[in-house]
Amino acid sequence: MRISRVATLAAVAALTLGVAACGGDDSDDAGTAPESKSFAAGTTMEKLNKAQKIIIGTKFDQPGFGLKGLDNKPAGFDVEIGKIIATELGIPESKIEYIETPSAVREEVLEQGKADIVVATYTINDKRKERIDFAGPYYVAGQHIMVKASDSSITGPDSFKAGGKKVCSVAGSTPAANIEKYLADKVAQLVVFDVYQKCVDALNGGQVDAVTTDNVILTGFIAKNEGKFKLAGQKFTDEPYGIGVKKGDTAFRDFINDTLEKIYADGRYAKAWTETAGKFDSAVPTGPSINRY
């Protein structure tokens, strides 16, 4: 496998131009008719409810959070959060369209209206808030390092300071930016792809020595690849996950924040965790306090 920054940028650009889509299909309508809802005129909630359709940007390659399975449908904690928001909008599951949103294109799909919400292990930060807004947080992850199970030479981010060891992350992600300060030579040591599965393949193939991203993403890959990988050291950042919406849509953000508080209380949040990421991490979160900035 040849890894280069040019290849990474090309892959990101390709995803930006032609975001893979998997649509809702009337033939497999999961269910019961949605409860009828009414929303204030002119709001995004009213628009989506009337259209009876929502486009959700999520990840397609992250076990536990957003992973597209053999049935071609993404599954995971982020997907469940997205489904709950659709339900609260009065939109049935069969009318959700999912588009793959790798880290580097998340702001762009919202700005361009290609997705109505992005639920994609998406850390809330000020730089991103210049372009979009976030509801949440609905979970707090932390950056961690994954290595081969047999490796005892990497014990945390400081292990990269001496140079030599290569670490892989994803373009446009906070972990790719955070790890830089631990590297002796960024060009030689940091490998970036568009999606995390490619980093996992590179670690497996020995082209890199480690993968860095959020603990919950790495835990998913460790569970899916039994015996091959392990976490090294401790988490070294906080990554509060938010739900991205178009910048300035305060009513929609408030609605999603209200929905999160409601599902923390009524058990749907804990159930969503237990049925997805909870299979790899049994510590059921209670739901962090919402930041109504």
The least CB distance from residue 158 to ligand GLU, in Å, is 20
Question: Would you say 213 or 257 has its CB closer to ligand GLU?
Answer: 213
Q: Which residues bind ligand GLU (CB under 6 A)?
A: 103, 120-123, 170, 173-175, 213-214, 239
The least CB distance from residue 29 to ligand GLU, in Å, is 30
Question: Would you say 87 or 213 has its CB closer to ligand GLU?
Answer: 213
Question: Would you say 8 or 103 has its CB closer to ligand GLU?
Answer: 103
Question: Would you say 85 or 211 has its CB closer to ligand GLU?
Answer: 211
Spatial distance between the Cα atoms of 114 and 148, rounded to a whole number of angstroms: 37
Q: How many residues does the chain have?
A: 293
The least CB distance from residue 136 to ligand GLU, in Å, is 12
Strand order in the sheet with 74-75: 61-62, 66-68, 74-75
The least CB distance from residue 77 to ligand GLU, in Å, is 13
Angle of helix 44-51 relative to helix 250-266, nearest 10 degrees, comes to: 70
User: In the bound complex, which residue of the shown chain has the CB atom lying closest to ligand GLU?
Assistant: 173
The least CB distance from residue 266 to ligand GLU, in Å, is 26
In DSSP notation, 138-195 reads EEEE-EEEEEETT--S--SGGGGTTS---EEEETT-HHHHHGGGG-S-HHHHEEEESS
With b for 16 or more beta-carbon neighbours within 10 A and e for fewer, the 125-158 pattern comes to eeebeeebbbbbbbbbbebbbbbbeebeebeebe
Question: Would you say 91 or 145 has its CB closer to ligand GLU?
Answer: 145
